[in-house]
């Protein structure tokens, strides 16, 4: 190793001296790393479906949620209402959401809800039903990858349609996996079921391979540099102990191969499997930026709900019905699926908190109400505080509707991504309003 002072203490020089590749670079960062930051991993999870909500059955009144019951659509989450951050606008009528897809409104696409998936997590839009900029799951995942996490991103779908919420770049989609059998096999292997402490195996332990060399390297350094290296090694060891002690890191039972998930009758099974896989992915720390598109744009055009007490019309037709009852019933069922994931995360301890406490679960829809497909007053909901970043147990009322760009920027801040803006045109954030 060279004795040049500027190189002697560089991380690249150390890796070369140890015979290690650049994949090890984040381990030796003297900046804030995932291990040093908080001792636990933060996760971003988005869950999206189409055709809007029924406003009067969805939006809570402004203020604390703990003193009353949640509206019918959110009733499945009542057990976890202390973990909810709801958002609404100033109106008292049917359009009571507080977040707009402003980039679409700027283009005159007021009723473009069936095109709006690309804008929901990007804050950008082009007229060809595509995003111009990366979605926040990609931004978060890219930072995590730069910090050394091998597979930070996971994109999952259940009813593929014409678009996606997850985008890599201008006009470039992130491919989602809609077959739970294929996804399970890719993540956990072909056995049914298997122990799935993949993160422990994967991480076991990068320090085991280089700790002797690191110790020798640290010996001639000054006290300040040795303290930094020792502190990082101790943080890594602490994380490993937490992972090894995590009782929840077990794969779910796999779905048999060959199930036809195009059949409406199999849709609940498909959703349940995807929810269980995502819960396992979180518990095993396989990925930390996850999207689940339950019903994509256009994907509801042939979906019926024979397991629910609603007419056997397809979802798109039901969304345009003047009778709000079936729409409320359907959305309540979707929120029961969200509650399933929330419950699994809340039941998984992580030190003094839980996987839910350390996550930001963003639930969104591509339009206000299916009857008119408006992209203003969109129903965004946050569950989990992101390790204390967001307020909880309350519904925040905005004095006027705000561009979704600013909400997305605040979510990036919750995930320790210090961006000034997300998407097109609209900079700024909602930290002052939404931060705990």
Assign 3-class secondary structure to 75-111: HHHHHHHHHEEEEECCCCCCCCCCEECHHHHHCCCCC
Domain span at 395 = 31-197+246-434
Q: Does some domain include residue 369?
A: yes
Domain assignment of residue 217, yes or no: no
- Say if CB 288 and CB 42 are below 8 A apart: yes
Q: Which residues of 315-331 are buried (b: 16+ CB within 10 A; e: fewer)?
A: bbebbeeeebebbbbbb
The string of pLDDT tens digits covering residues 164-193 is 999 999 999 999 999 999 999 999 875 433
* Dist. CA 99–CA 8, nearest whole Å: 51
Provide the domain count of the chain: 1
Residue 293 pairs in a beta bridge with 48, 157
pLDDT at position 177: 94
Q: How much is the mean pLDDT over the chain?
A: 83
Kindly state whether residue 228 falls inside one of the protein's structural domains. Answer: no
Phi and psi torsions of 294, nearest 5°: -70, -40
* pLDDT in the model for residue 248: 67
The span from the CA of 320 to the CA of 315, in Å, is 9
Ranges under pLDDT 50 in the chain: 1-38, 191-207, 209-210, 239, 242-243, 245
Contact criterion met (CB below 8 Å) for 134 and 419:
no
Phi and psi torsions of 191, nearest 5°: -70, 155
Residue 216 lies in a domain: no
Question: ω before 193 within 30° of 0 (cis)?
Answer: yes
pLDDT at position 211 is: 56
Residue 423 structure tokens: 């998407």
Tell me, yes or no, whether 118 lies in a domain. yes
Nearest to 147 by CA among 47, 3, 288, 7: 288
Residue 428 lies in a domain: yes
Angle at which helices 267-283 and 180-188 cross, to 10°: 20
pLDDT above 90 as % of the chain: 65
CATH number of the structural domain spanning residue 169: 3.40.720.10
Question: Under DSSP, is residue 359 helix (H, G, I), strand (E, B) or coil?
Answer: strand
Beta bridge partners of 122: none
- CB 195: neighbour CB atoms within 10 A? 12
What is the pLDDT, as a whole number, of residue 194?
A: 38
Residue 168: strand, helix, or coil: strand
Model confidence over 371-405: pLDDT tens digits? 889 999 999 999 999 999 999 999 999 999 999 99
What's the pLDDT tens digit per position in 88-136? Answer: 998 766 678 999 999 999 999 999 999 999 999 999 999 888 999 999 9
- Does residue 61 fall inside a structural domain? yes
* Neighbouring C-alpha atoms within 13 Å toward the C-beta of 396: 23
* Domain membership flag for residue 207: no
């Amino acid at each position: 190793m060279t004795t040049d002072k500027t190189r002697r203490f560089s991380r690249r020089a150390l890796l070369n001296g140890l015979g290690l590749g650049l994949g090890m670079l984040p381990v030796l960062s003297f900046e804030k790393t995932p291990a040093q930051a908080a001792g636990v991993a933060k996760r971003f999870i988005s869950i999206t479906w189409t055709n809007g909500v029924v406003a009067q059955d969805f939006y809570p009144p402004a203020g604390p949620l703990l003193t009353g019951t949640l509206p019918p659509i959110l009733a499945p989450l009542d057990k976890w209402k202390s973990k909810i951050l709801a958002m609404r606008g100033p109106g008292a009528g049917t359009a009571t959401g507080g977040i707009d897809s402003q980039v679409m409104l700027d283009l005159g696409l007021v009723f473009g809800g069936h095109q709006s998936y690309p804008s929901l997590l990007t804050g950008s839009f082009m007229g060809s039903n595509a995003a111009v900029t990366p979605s926040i799951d990609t931004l978060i995942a890219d930072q995590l990858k730069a910090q050394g996490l091998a597979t930070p991103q996971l994109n999952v779908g259940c009813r593929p349609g014409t678009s996606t919420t997850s985008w890599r770049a201008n006009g470039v989609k992130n491919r989602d996996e809609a077959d739970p059998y294929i996804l399970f096999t890719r993540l956990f292997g072909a056995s049914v079921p298997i122990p799935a402490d993949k993160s422990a195996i994967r991480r076991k332990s990068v320090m085991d391979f280089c700790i002797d060399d690191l110790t020798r390297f640290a010996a001639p350094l000054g006290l300040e540099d040795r303290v930094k290296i020792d502190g990082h090694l101790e943080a890594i060891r602490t994380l490993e102990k937490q992972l090894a002690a995590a009782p929840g890191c077990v794969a779910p039972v796999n779905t048999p191969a060959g199930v036809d998930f195009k059949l409406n009758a199999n849709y609940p099974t498909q959703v349940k499997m995807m929810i269980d896989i995502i819960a396992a992915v979180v518990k095993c720390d396989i990925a930390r930026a996850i999207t689940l598109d339950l019903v994509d744009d256009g994907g509801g055009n042939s979906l019926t709900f024979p397991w629910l007490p609603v007419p056997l019309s397809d979802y798109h037709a039901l969304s345009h019905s003047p009778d709000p009852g079936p729409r409320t019933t359907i959305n309540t069922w979707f929120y029961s699926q969200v509650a399933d994931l929330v419950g699994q995360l809340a039941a998984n301890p992580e030190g003094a908190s839980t996987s839910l406490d350390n996550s930001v679960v963003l639930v969104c829809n591509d339009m206000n109400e299916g009857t008119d497909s408006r992209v203003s007053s969109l129903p965004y909901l946050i569950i989990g505080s992101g390790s204390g970043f967001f307020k909880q147990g309350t519904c925040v009322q905005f004095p006027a509707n705000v561009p979704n760009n600013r909400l997305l920027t605040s979510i990036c801040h919750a995930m320790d991504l210090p961006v000034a803006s997300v998407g097109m045109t609209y900079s700024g954030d909602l930290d002052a309003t939404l931060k705990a």
